[in-house]
Chains A and B, each alone.
Chain A
């Protein structure tokens, strides 16, 4: 699976958009980009995933560059409850067990 690089920490003001970058320069054609977050010490929570098109759901938007070597997770109106560690993961979207590899992620702090 391709390796990802994320900044270790970021800050964002409450109510502003939080933009979390992820570099995955070695991504291959069949690999998807997944984002999960982990609030405090809870189990990780799925946010969104994509292949090459931008994606949006009720939680966030995912912007993938045209060359697919990087992506950005956007939380449009960050709240204090969005303070968490955010993990960017790339892996093939194949049938079978989803053996995700979690790096150290980005610790996002939303400030009032």
Chain B
């Protein structure tokens, strides 16, 4: 199993550009999440999904959109990028009804908006 895979690992955007961060998992997990981490800070939840076709906002959803057309994929769309969106983005997944409630994280996507 590859686990949770994120692409790209690094990206530089200009203000106002748009892009999609890709996330895919091969563990057949129902739940998927997007977090962002600013320098020296903890992670903040952007959006999450409890299954294909179902998404919901987290703590900091403004400026982002998500979709969940399949169990495996949970892309994060940034519209009109702003310097405040410079951050490291982590995708995670968890199993429904799992005993530990453990989240499995990807390696992160580092985004810089100039």
Spell out A's residues near B (CB within 8 Å).
32, 34, 36, 41-46, 49, 87, 93, 95-105
Closest A residue by C-beta to B98: A98
CB–CB B108/A43 < 8 A: yes
Question: In the complex, how many angstroms separate the beta carbon of A24 from the nearest chain B beta carbon?
Answer: 15
Question: In the complex, how many angstroms separate the beta carbon of B30 from the nearest chain A beta carbon?
Answer: 9
Q: A43-B108, A49-B101 are in contact. Are A104 and B45 (CB under 8 A)?
A: no
Q: A34-B101, A43-B105, A44-B105 are in contact. Are A99 and B41 (CB under 8 A)?
A: no
Consensus secondary structure, chain B interface: strand
CB–CB B100/A43 < 8 A: no
Give the residues in chain A near B88, CB-CB below 8 Å: 41
Question: In the complex, how many angstroms separate the beta carbon of B92 from the nearest chain A beta carbon?
Answer: 7
Closest B residue by C-beta to A94: B101
Give the residues in chain B near A45, CB-CB below 8 Å: 105
Closest B residue by C-beta to A32: B101
Q: A99-B45, A102-B42, A104-B41 are in contact. Are A41 and B101 (CB under 8 A)?
A: no
